[in-house]
Chain A
Amino acid sequence: MIALEARDMVRTLDGDPPATLVAGASFSVERGRFTTIIGPSGCGKSSLLYLLGLLDRPTSGALLVDGEDVTPLGGDARARLRLQHFGFVFQFHFLLPEFTALENVLLPIRRLGALDATHASERARTLLAAVGLSGKEGKTPDRLSGGERQRVAIARALANDPQIILGDEPTGNLDSKNAANVVETFKSLAHEENRAVVCVTHDPKIAEAADVRIAMLDGRIASIETGAVAM
């Protein structure tokens, strides 16, 4: 089932001459699959991810989420979609420093407002327990290790049960053991929970573990490979 479909998406930056970040990307992202976007630094893979995550708008072309064209939507509608259907995990943990682990996970739940306070808190605790952080709910990010922070970020990304998970070098700042954990988590989110997982990386180990590899070069999609790579 196709979760995201890019139709000739172009993103240029104003300037003289205009810089092209993404030059005509067309592909689709399926649920139940772990997709990676790979390529050298500056090839436009992060820019493509921001377009897929509705954080940025394509200069031309279209993006379909669950078959619906979201390109013409306004800022508030896009924020609403991000809140309900997208979960982000970045290279740096990107937690709010003044908030505890539990409060960080609660942010999207409270913003959506679908659960009352008791159930929201219950859900946040369950999510933290699922990433192995039981007992650390009350700690602020500065009292957690790098790996723990990234797990809080993953729990937060899953807060509203989104169908699309986007990672931007999510293991870039982690040691190999923590990185392997994150990759395992992402794989299970795709395979066992049938979500669409898209991960930008230049780590070949993650790319090898993925079901789909989209290779980019100079803003263009160079190749799309399917199937796990034999180790």
Chain B
Amino acid sequence: MIGARLPLLIDIAIKHLAGRKRQSVVAVFGVAVGVGFFLAVSALMVGSQNDFITRLIDAAPHIVVTDEIRSPRPQPGTIAFPRGAVILRHFKTRTEARGIKDWPALVAAADAVPGTIASPSLSGGITLKLGGHEEALGVIGIDPEKETRVSTVESNLRAGHLRDLETTQGGLVVGEELAARLGVGMGDVVAATSASGATRSLRIVGLMKRGQTAIGDTSGYVLLREAQSLLERPFIINRIGIKLRDPYAADPVAKRLEARFGYKAQSWQERSSDILSVLVTRNVIMYTVVSAILLVASFGIYTAVSTSVSDKRRDIAILRSIGFSQGDLQLVFVIEGLIVALIGILLGWMLGFGLMSALGSLRFPIAGETQYLPLDHGARQYLIAATASLLAGIVAAWLPARKAARVDPVDILRGAA
């Protein structure tokens, strides 16, 4: 019958806390500061991590299939005798013609996964000339409509659109720094020379923002057909970028494609496994620091409840003599810890919200653009902070509360009489 007596026990707990205002307030503030800083720190950490991963994922397609192979094709003898006791080494591997063979089948296989888009491209080196000035350029031939959906190139354009490549004969998109070095702007014409010496004129229809590390300053986009004719490799492509609906499915899809077609298919996870392992370390550090904060907060509750128990030994004896049970008394002090934790959590939420707003209003000029701190405002962090503090609070209050239950009223009565 805990229901009927609970309000009374809560009353007693509140009176105890109110009678020891300073200690209660200190304990509440301990929890509040712990929760508040947990929220601020984790919002920053989770926010920056999500932002980082988004950039990581979106910087390039989720899966990139190239015309490389990870190991040479097996020798005919090895295929003929799979269990044979012969190991062939140091044989001369066959020189393969570069380019992905049968790429329409690969694109079709990738497109078969729902929500997936595959964008084939051909890249190669050309030289741009204007007057006496020459610049090397890695040119990438693309299908603008598909590439727009697969990569972030379109959103990183300072001027123009990728689709302008289709409407302009010999259209070219380059980085604004390269354009500045050549002294050209939108609509200007530059001469392009391929490795085999073929020359043609290209017109600049788009400029990419500076500082896009993934694409680089020395790359430019042209139409796929244009690249194939400029590089004299008609119908050839050497790279397929694949975007998935669920980025985290990239690894298994990449493995499947590689197993089926033999070409190296690299997922973003594989591409950035070193960085992802850094993130794990970062998370471990964060949760260690944050747990320490919450642990300190629970020490506050422990101290408050523990001193309350020793101060109230007389009251405990009185209540026991009136007819309160040991369980009642234990509950009173657990409730004290819970009240401290709950008020602390509420204040901590407010503090955390305030800290987040303050952090969120900070402005950072990066590369000429105003940037804000990436903060995660999800309810999840609030819940984690509240749950952790409540659990810590219950444990911290429960330990001294057991002492309250064990107080023998006769000892107190004898001592007082």
Contacts and interface: CB of A to CB of B under 8 A. Distances in A.
B129 interface: no
A205 interface: no
A186 interface: no
B417 A113 contact: no
A98 interface: yes
Contact of B315 (A56, A91, A96): A96
Would you list the 8 A-B pairs with minimal beta carbon distance, nearest first? A83-B323, A79-B325, A113-B4, A82-B323, A98-B15, A110-B8, A98-B19, A56-B410
A40 to B, nearest CB: 15
A121 B1 CA distance: 22
Contact of A82 (B1, B12, B321): B321
B417 A79 contact: no
Contact of A86 (B1, B323, B328): B323
8 contacts: A56-B410, A79-B323, A79-B326, A79-B328, A80-B325, A81-B323, A111-B8, A169-B417
A13 B321 CA distance: 21
Interface residues of A, number: 34
B323 A113 contact: no
Interface residues of B, number: 30
A168 interface: yes
A50 B317 CA distance: 12
Contacts of A79: 320, 323-326, 328
B86 interface: no
Contacts of A151: none
A76 B287 CA distance: 43
B324 A96 contact: no
Interface in A68-96: 75-76, 79-84, 86, 88, 90-92, 94-96
Contact of B314 (A94, A112, A168): A94
A55 to B, nearest CB: 5
B319 A92 contact: no
A53 interface: yes
A70 to B, nearest CB: 14
Nearest to A79: B325
A168 B19 contact: no
A95 B416 CA distance: 13
A97 interface: yes
A107 interface: yes
